[in-house]
């Protein structure tokens, strides 16, 4: 039996994948440089580049004038060849970011949902939302990443959820894959938030990071050795309800908000944001309430920071809007209480962090398609 045809085809695909890898990690390059970096002949690179240009994975980007002879053409990876979608599923909101294949965000959308929806109603809403976002992107996403609250295992199943009704035990990745005609990857929202911080936020080039997600619920995300930590039961970072009440730490800002506007009922996160606004306007009582909130958070963080020994603590979720009003008291407390105090920062990604992290895992899922040079999907028929 003759295997030479198959061997040649495999070698061509491997060389093509190698050329694509180089293109993705360089701004622009010439055929000669590609041949040297991939360690193949220039005629081989020319043939591969013709295919990549025809498939839409590469494009010309000007010329480089040499010492003599004709200017050398330069090529780059065509990041607009495909799109991915990152989706955050919360109790009250769906949020999405669309990104090109370089990770640049090109579109963002939001839609309202409700925590007491049935699972089917919520799935229907997600399906419609993804279709709307795909139309806005102008083409079908190569992959959709989804971040959701709850304990999510490595198969994209929601093991437990105390926030969304009907979500516990749901094989979310399988369900969405049946409804959406593109690959779907599902992960816990706070693990995606800390991944987003490492990719596009405060934790770039950091390897050991603690991310506090605090808003209308509280969770921790941990980056250990550069990777989000899942835990033995995929429940890493889930903070159970304390006997004295999870929101006791928010008491100072809730009391302040109630004293200023007694008839206005606010959630703990809303009370905190109200106090941030008043503190930034010069209200000393508001500033004192925020400091008390920060000290309460710091006292809880010490119990994790000590044994974990992170290099950075990120305050995320809606509390990130507190900025220095929260960061400085927390930093001072950790400086006193910790042997090696980490740097404390407020997230600059805010409420976008989960969707951005979801876009990141969607991009990772596309790596094999890109490496194999599979042709990108065409634009949707009714795209604007």
Output the domain CATH number for residue 36: 1.10.10.10
β-pair type (143-148, 184-188):
parallel
Whether 381 shows a pLDDT value over 50: the answer reads: no
Question: What mean pLDDT is reported for the chain?
Answer: 88
Is residue 200 domain-resident?
Answer: no
Total tally of structural domains belonging to the chain: 3
The pLDDT score that the predictor gives to residue 108 is 94
Is residue 383 domain-resident?
Answer: no
Confidence of residue 9 (pLDDT cuts 50, 70, 90): confident
Is residue 122 domain-resident?
Answer: yes
The pLDDT score that the predictor gives to residue 247 is 63
Is residue 377 domain-resident?
Answer: no
* Coil vs helix vs strand at 229: coil
| pTM (2 d.p.) | 0.85
Please indicate, yes or no, whether residues 189 and 211 belong to a single structural domain of this protein: no
* pLDDT tens digit sequence for 108-164: 999 999 988 999 999 999 999 999 999 999 889 999 999 999 999 999 999 999 889
Please indicate, yes or no, whether residues 42 and 88 belong to a single structural domain of this protein: no
271 and 302 Cβ atoms separated by less than 8 Å: no
Q: Of the given ranges (248-257, 298-307, 362-371), which has the lowest mean pLDDT?
A: 362-371
The pLDDT score that the predictor gives to residue 169 is 96
153 and 168 Cβ atoms separated by less than 8 Å: no
Average pLDDT, integer, range 18-22: 85
Please indicate, yes or no, whether residues 71 and 133 belong to a single structural domain of this protein: no
Please indicate, yes or no, whether residues 210 and 338 belong to a single structural domain of this protein: yes
The pLDDT score that the predictor gives to residue 20 is 84
CA distance 184 to 96: 14
Please indicate, yes or no, whether residues 176 and 120 belong to a single structural domain of this protein: yes
Domain assignment of residue 48, given as a range:
8-80
| Higher-pLDDT residue of 57, 89 | 89
CATH of the domain at 252: 3.30.420.40
The pLDDT score that the predictor gives to residue 376 is 56
Please indicate, yes or no, whether residues 87 and 68 belong to a single structural domain of this protein: no
Confidence of residue 318 (pLDDT cuts 50, 70, 90): confident
């Amino acid at each position: 039996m003759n295997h030479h045809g198959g061997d040649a085809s495999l070698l061509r695909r491997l060389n093509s994948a190698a050329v694509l890898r180089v293109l993705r990690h360089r701004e622009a390059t010439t055929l000669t440089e590609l041949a040297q970096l991939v360690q193949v002949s220039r005629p081989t690179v020319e043939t591969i580049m013709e295919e990549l240009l025809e498939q839409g994975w590469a494009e010309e980007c000007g010329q480089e004038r040499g010492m003599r002879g004709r200017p050398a053409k330069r090529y780059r990876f065509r990041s607009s060849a495909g799109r991915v979608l990152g989706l955050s599923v919360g109790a009250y909101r769906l949020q999405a970011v669309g990104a090109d294949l370089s990770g640049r965000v090109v579109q963002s959308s939001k839609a309202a949902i409700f925590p007491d929806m049935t699972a089917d109603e919520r799935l229907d809403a997600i399906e419609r939302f993804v279709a709307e976002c795909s139309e806005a992107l102008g083409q079908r996403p190569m992959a959709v990443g989804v971040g959701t609250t709850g304990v999510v295992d490595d198969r994209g199943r929601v093991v437990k959820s105390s926030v969304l009704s009907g979500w516990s035990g749901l094989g979310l990745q399988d369900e969405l894959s049946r409804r959406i005609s593109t690959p779907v990857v599902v992960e816990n929202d706070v693990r995606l938030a800390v991944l987003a911080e490492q990719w596009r936020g405060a934790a770039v080039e950091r390897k050991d990071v603690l991310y506090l997600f605090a808003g209308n619920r509280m969770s921790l995300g941990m980056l250990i050795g550069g990777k989000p930590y899942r835990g033995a039961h995929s429940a890493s970072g889930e903070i159970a309800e304390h006997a004295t009440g999870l929101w006791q730490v928010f008491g100072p800002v809730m009391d302040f908000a109630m004293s200023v506007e007694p008839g206005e009922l606010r959630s703990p996160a809303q009370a905190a944001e109200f106090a941030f606004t008043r503190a930034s306007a010069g209200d000393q009582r508001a500033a004192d309430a925020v400091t008390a909130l920060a000290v309460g958070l710091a006292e809880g963080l010490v119990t994790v920071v000590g044994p974990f020994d992170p290099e950075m603590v990120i305050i995320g979720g809606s509390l990130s809007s507190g900025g220095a009003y929260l960061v400085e008291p927390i930093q001072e407390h950790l400086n006193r209480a910790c042997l090696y105090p980490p740097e404390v920062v407020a997230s600059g990604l805010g409420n976008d962090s989960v969707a951005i992290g979801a876009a990141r895992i969607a991009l990772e899922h596309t790596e094999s398609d890109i490496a194999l040079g599979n042709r990108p999907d065409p634009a949707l028929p009714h795209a604007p």
